[in-house]
Amino acid sequence: MKRFERLERIRRLDPVADAQEIYRLSTAYEFPWDYTRALELALYRTYAVPSIGRLLAQTAELTERTQKRYDDTALLLDTVVEHGFAAEQGRAAIRRINQMHRSYDISDDDMRYVLSTFVVVPRRWIDTYGWRRLSRHEIVATTEYYRTLGRHMGIPDLPKTYEEFETLLDTYEEANFGWDEGARRVSDATLRLMSSWYPRPLAPLLRTGVLALLDEPLLRAFRYEKPGAATVALVRRAVRARGRVVRLLPPRRAPHFARQNWEIKGYPNGYCVADLGTRPVPGLRGCPVRHLDTSAADVGE
C-alpha cells in the first residue's frame, strides 16, 4: 500500500452516507496518535468553561480518580468508533454516556459546545501537526459522525456543517471562558496525570511542554503563566517534525484504536463496556439530581 492510497479510498466514499467508515479509517489508520492528542485537548479545553469545570470538580472524578476517568472516557468513545452506532457494544457505550450525563443538570448549550470540540479541535490539530491535512471528505464525515453521536445523546439544535460547529466553538469560548477555582484543580490534576505517564524527573518538562501547546485564551482562563517564546517555538516545531517523519513512514496496515493506547492503565485484564464510567447516587457528592434512566441510544432513533 502506498502512503496516500487510503486517502484515495476515503475520497471514493460518500462523506455523509459513509461517514462512520471514513471516520474510522481516519482515526484508526491515518491519524491514531494525532486523534488521541487532539481529543485529549478537546476535553481539556472544556474545563475552561466555568459551568463545566466547576461541575467536574464537584464530582471529584477528575481530581481524585483521574486515570480511571481518563480511561473510561477514552474507552467509551473508542467503542463507538470501533463497533459503530448500531452494534450492541456501541449502543452500550452510548447508553453509559447518557446515564452519566443525565445524573447532572448540564445545559444543552454546554453539551453542544463539548460536542463542537470533538469536531473542531482534531481538524485544527491535524492541519497544524499531522503528516497531512484533513481532506474535505474527512471533515464532512467527522461532522456527520458527531452529529449522529449528538442525536444519540439527545442533544437538540445541532449545527449542520463543520463551519457552524467552528463558529459555535469560537463564539462560546469567547463568551464563556473564565476563571474558576474548581476548574483549575481539574486542570492541574489532568496535567499531573499526563506527566505521570513518563519518568518522574521529566514531569516539570512535560508540564511546560503541554502548556506550550495551549492557546492564550486557555492559558488566561486557568491563570497559567505562558512559557517563553523560545520554549513555545521549540515544542511546536518538535510536534510538527514528528508529523513530517510519519509522512515518510509506510502507511499503517492494521487499525490502532484508543483501547490499545499505552496511556490506558486501569484495565490490564480487560473490561466490560457496561461497567465503564461513573454511577453517581443522588444526595451524595457530585450528583445533585435524579433523572430517568432512559437512553437516546434506545429510543427515538
Question: How far from each other are the two terminal CA atoms of the chain, in whole angstroms?
Answer: 38
Give me 289's grid cell: 439530581
pLDDT at site 205: 93
Q: Tell me, what amino acid is at 37?
A: R
Query: What is the chain's pLDDT, residue by residue, as a tens digit (301 residues)?
Result: 899 999 999 999 999 999 999 999 999 999 999 999 999 999 999 999 999 999 999 998 899 999 999 999 999 999 999 999 999 999 999 999 999 988 888 999 999 999 999 999 999 999 999 999 999 999 999 999 999 999 999 999 999 999 999 999 999 999 999 999 999 999 999 999 999 999 989 899 999 999 999 999 999 999 999 999 999 999 999 999 999 999 999 999 999 999 999 999 999 999 999 999 988 755 444 444 333 444 455 543 3
Cell of 293: 434512566
pLDDT attached to residue 297: 52
Q: What pLDDT does residue 105 have?
A: 87
* Residue 291 CB coordination number (10 Å): 14
CA dist., res. 212 & res. 209, Å (int): 5
Q: What pLDDT score was predicted for residue 296?
A: 52
Position 1 scores a pLDDT of 85
pLDDT value at residue 9:
97
CA distances from 161 to 135, 140, 166, 187, 284 (A): 15, 7, 9, 30, 40
Q: How many helices (H) and strands (E) does the chain have?
A: 14, 0
Q: What is the pLDDT of residue 28?
A: 98
pTM, two decimals, is 0.91
Q: Buried (b) or exposed (e) across 59-78, using 16+ Cβ within 10 A?
A: bbbbbebbebbbbbbbbbbb
Q: What three-state secondary structure class fits 12?
A: helix
What are the C-alpha distances in Å from 235 to residues 156, 157, 196, 209?
39, 38, 19, 6
What's the pLDDT score for residue 293? 41
276 and 72 Cβ atoms separated by less than 8 Å: yes
| Kind and range of the H or E run holding 182 | helix 181-196
